[in-house]
Amino acid sequence: MTRKEQFENLVRITPELKDQDLKNISVIADFIGRNINFLKEIYQSLATGEPVTHQPDIGAPVSVTLNIETGFINMMRGKMSLEFTIEAFLSFIHLIDICFIDTLPLGSVVTLDPYFLPMETQKRLEETDKGFNVMIVSQKQTIDKGVPNIYADYYVTLWPYGLAEYSPPFIIPTLAIKEVLHKGYQTGGQKKYLEVVNSKIISNNMKSFMYLTARQQQDIQTGKAGESSG
């Protein structure tokens, strides 16, 4: 099964997306999945409200506009047009993530973009003398901190310290990866393992930590999620 076919199958069973034109949403998803920097710009536009456009070397541009008054997001490419609620749009991005973006192997060393990190994590990294370089130690693990059906794209540790007492692992979203400095070792067995993990995510309707609000992300990082208000 191709990535595009997998995406189409998931759209059919996703309540907030099943009424979309399958051909159009699939074409645009495939385009965004091949342009992760554009996906980052789209994600940022949800916070800024600013429209974003990407012009490929060949073909029509893709534009994304958030209508603050109606709360709808519009995407256009040539004669294709899609409209989403915020909830549907986040589901759309989530499916792109699962179907089109490869998961990096364990042991990979990456540089992080602080924009996509909770403030507490930014402060922690700024206090180190190694900047924003980290090593991946876990992939797509369920977060058991009072928030149901949420998983972490990656757990990482500060590089070059690893799992030292003063360097506990923390969560990062896929979009926080700015540059891959070293790609870890990967076998066919690990690829099959990730296929099983993705199937579990899909069947349980789980969402990535990336699609939580900034406050929810902060609460999970600090262990406050699920605490009683009393």
Beta bridge partners of 75: 64, 82
In the chain, domain spans: 3-100, 109-221
Q: For residues 139-144, give the mean pLDDT.
A: 83
Looking at beta carbons, which pairs linking 60-65 to residues 24 or more positions away fall under 8 Å? 62/28, 62/31, 62/32, 62/38
**45-49, 106-110, 143-147: range with highest mean pLDDT:** 106-110
Count, in order, helices (H) and strands (E) of the chain: 7, 10
107's tokens: 């042991």
Cα angle 174, 178, 181 (rounded to 5 degrees) comes to 105
The predicted structure's pLDDT at residue 167: 75
**Dist. CA 35–CA 32, nearest whole Å:** 5
Does residue 223 carry a pLDDT above 80? no
Give the pLDDT confidence of 18-47 residue by residue, as tens digits. 889 999 999 999 999 889 899 999 888 888
Give the pLDDT confidence of 152-162 residue by residue, as tens digits. 899 999 888 88
Does residue 229 carry a pLDDT above 80? no
Q: For residues 109-138, give the mean pLDDT.
A: 84
Residue 47 carries which DSSP code?
Answer: H
pTM over 0.95: no
